[in-house]
A and B are shown apart, each in its own frame.
Chain A
């Protein structure tokens, strides 16, 4: 039996790099707080203002419901169209980006494209599109489509990279064409997760579609921003309640869609 010298019997070796990292983080947090006037006094001053703001929000004012429903409908249209387009483009892009099925010279450009779509927040992309193709819903759809590709394109690719290649090998061995191998060997293995990602993206686009209007890319966001600036806080409150309702309905629909397509119950949450 080999005995270890008592000096070497260290059960838990200290990790000095990790300790230094924690200390640096703590120091930076204190520094950032002092720089940004992030103090309790400042918060209490703000609370006064907040109480007045909330007081003026109630009761919510639904008298301008035409503006509200028009904006809400446009947001819904933007979200659905952007999701549909985004998923449609993400399917081939995700496949091209999957390293287990495609050679490196194909996956690299596909991955670069996805990374590019992911680089900016949807609002920034929306500003770019508003400047490029003008105010309105088209810019919102374009911006959220880009965001969708960036998000689910990557998830699609990762899902495809996790499939069992044995099943693919068996389909390949039957002499099936490339497209048939995809339809029968790959798609069945990832379909459930694709439905999950798709409904999640619709959910996310619903939220984002209420926001791109702030920069003029259509939807209820424009009206919301205008109401804020005119201090019409009761109308703001009405719109916020409507948005909550929209998101809630979207959630219910997404759950139903998953239940229909995934007889095996729950999607594995990411």
Chain B
């Protein structure tokens, strides 16, 4: 983009059923680095927004410009090539349960490996070395050959993050990555996401509904309500008034 944004969302709308938009004309710009938290109540379209970025969900209208290309117009091979550049971490981890931790990590390289080689598990040695290094970083060195369904929630999410990082992404998306985890593990996972983002120098966009967690980790907060952006700025600028307009009501603010 001419203004140097890594990702630019322009006039994005999404309707699952005609006439009932989930996202209303959203426009957001993301710089080449930094941790952005998208907060808002359940069902306000946060997940839809993030899934529109890597086209797991088809936008109804608008443009999503990433690396100078409008993702909304892409399909087939071109779309897959862009997806490889975008790592994604999921709320329920979405690991392939019956594959080992190592196989799950190498899933992040599938975009670069031919089907027969992938079938035979013939990944380049450099990918395998990197996977072992990453397992050390996320603290799961001894789990390479464990099946994913043997892991705890926190361990699974670490594998999920490592899988996304294996893609060498230019952008990291995370959809409620800690909503299924306890508070302590949540902080550990957020710290890991933030550290990896900083180390790889890539922008991070995380959906979450926990305001305190968002304030603690984010450089920028986007507040959504009813499918529209109602706050966009620094965590420090987020007032009770904003929270009221994002989540509605005020009793919960004490």
A residues touching B (Cβ–Cβ < 8 Å)?
164, 166-167, 169-177, 179-181, 183-185, 188-189, 191-192
Contact = CB atoms under 8 A, between A and B. Distances in A.
Given A169-B94, A170-B107, A175-B84, A184 B99 contact: yes
Contact of A189 (B84, B94, B96, B111): B96
A173 B47 CA distance: 14
Contacts of B107: 170-171, 174, 176, 184
A189 B98 contact: yes
B98 A192 contact: yes
A173 B96 contact: no
Contacts of A169: 56, 90, 94
B127 interface: no
B84 A174 contact: yes
Contact of B167 (A174, A181, A183): A174
Given A180-B118, A189-B97, A189-B98, A173 B83 contact: yes
B90 A166 contact: yes
A167 B110 contact: no
Given A170-B88, A171-B107, 4 more contacts: A171-B110, A173-B88, A174-B108, A177-B111
B31 interface: no
Given A169-B56, A174-B108, A179-B115, A188 B88 contact: no
A175 B99 contact: no
Contacts of A183: 115, 118-119
Nearest to A186: B96
Contacts, number: 83
A167 B97 contact: yes
A130 B86 CA distance: 58
A260 to B, nearest CB: 16
Contact of A170 (B84, B86, B95): B95
22 contacts: A166-B90, A170-B88, A170-B90, A170-B96, A170-B160, A171-B107, A173-B54, A173-B56, A173-B83, A174-B83, A174-B84, A174-B111, A174-B167, A175-B83, A175-B84, A175-B86, A177-B111, A180-B111, A180-B115, A180-B118, A183-B115, A183-B118
Contacts of A175: 80-86, 110-111, 167
B92 interface: yes
Nearest to A180: B110
Interface of B: 54, 56, 80-86, 88, 90, 92, 94-99, 103, 107-111, 113, 115, 118-119, 160, 163, 167
Nearest to B91: A166
Contacts of B85: 175
A188 B84 contact: no
Contacts of B97: 164, 167, 188-189
The 5 A-B pairs at the shortest CB distance, nearest first, are namely: A175-B84, A175-B83, A176-B110, A170-B94, A175-B111
B202 to A, nearest CB: 16
B48 to A, nearest CB: 14
Contacts of A170: 88, 90, 94-96, 107, 160, 163
Given A180-B113, A180-B118, A184-B107, A172 B56 contact: yes
A208 B47 CA distance: 53
Contact of B96 (A177, A179, A185): A185
B92 A188 contact: no
B115 A177 contact: yes
B80 A166 contact: no
Contacts of B99: 184, 188
Contacts of B88: 170, 173
Nearest to B83: A175
B94 A174 contact: no
Nearest to A185: B96
B96 A188 contact: yes
Contacts of A185: 96
A172 B108 CA distance: 10
Contact of A167 (B82, B95, B109, B111): B95
A22 B185 CA distance: 59
